[in-house]
Amino acid sequence: MISGFVTDLIGIHAIFGGFVFGLIIPKEGQFAARLIERIEDFVSGLLLPLYFASSGLKTDVTKINGAGSWGLLALVIMAACSGKIMGTFIVAVLCKIPAREALTLGFLMNTKGLVELIVLNIGKEKKVLNDEAFAILVLMALFTTFITTPSVMTICKSDRDKLANSIPKLQEITNKDETRILACIHGPTNIPSIINFIESIRATGTLSHLKLYIMHLIELSERPSSIMLLQRLRKNGIPLINHLYGGGGGGGGKFYDQVLDDISFKNECLLGLVTVRNKTAVSPLLTMHEDICQMVQKKGVRMIILPFHKQWRGINGNEEIMENMGHGWRGVNQRVLMHAPCSVGILVNRELSGVDINIDSVKRVCILFFGGANDRVALNLGWRMAQHPKIKVTLIRFVEQEDIKSCDHKLRVSPPKFKEKELDDVTICEFRRKFEGIVEYMENVSGNTLEAVLTTGRSGYELVVVGKVGWPPSMVATDRQVEHEELGPIGDLLASPGQGIISSVLVVQEHDNKHTEDVTVSLMPQNDEDATANEPSNAV
Cis upstream peptide for 472 (omega within 30°): yes
CA distance 330 to 152: 27
CB distance 301 to 182 below 8 Å: yes
**Rounded-to-integer distance, Cα 140 and Cα 212, Å:** 48
Helix, strand, coil content of the chain in percent (nearest 5): 50, 15, 35
Cβ contact 350:190 at 8 Å: no
pLDDT tens by residue, the chain, 540 residues: 899 999 999 988 888 898 899 899 887 778 888 888 888 888 888 888 898 888 888 888 888 888 888 999 999 999 988 888 999 999 999 998 888 888 989 998 888 778 888 888 888 888 888 888 899 998 888 888 888 888 888 887 655 555 545 444 554 444 455 788 899 988 777 777 888 888 888 756 556 678 888 888 888 765 665 565 555 555 444 444 344 444 433 334 444 444 455 444 434 444 456 778 888 888 888 888 888 988 888 888 889 999 998 877 666 656 666 777 778 888 999 999 998 888 999 998 887 444 344 556 778 899 999 888 888 888 888 888 888 888 889 998 887 755 555 565 444 444 434 467 788 888 888 888 888 888 888 888 766 778 888 888 888 888 899 988 755 555 555 566 788 888 888 888 888 887 788 888 999 998 764 433 344 444 444 444 444 444 433 333
Residues in CB range of 58: below 8 A, 6 or more apart: 121, 124, 134
Q: Are 306 and 505 in contact (CB under 8 A)?
A: no
The DSSP result for 279-342, as a single string, is EEEEE-TTTHHHHHHHHHHHHT-SEEEEE-SEEEEEEETTEEEEEE--HHHHHHHHHHHHH-SS
Instruction: Determine the 3-state secondary structure of 89 from DSSP.
Output: helix
- Report how far residue 96's alpha carbon sits from residue 85's, in angstroms, rounded to the nearest whole number: 17
Longest dimension (CA), the chain: 103
Helix, coil or strand: residue 526: coil
384 CA to centre of own chain = 24
Query: Is residue 86 within a helix (H) or strand (E), and if so which, with residue range?
Result: helix 66-94
Give which of 484, 47, 378 is closest to 493, Cα–Cα: 484
Distance from C-alpha of 525 to C-alpha of 295, rounded to nearest angstrom? 46
The pLDDT score that the predictor gives to residue 346 is 92
Report the C-alpha gap between 257 and 249 in whole angstroms.
12
Helix (H, G, I), strand (E, B) or coil at 421: helix
Q: CA 251, CA 268: separation in Å to the nearest integer?
A: 24
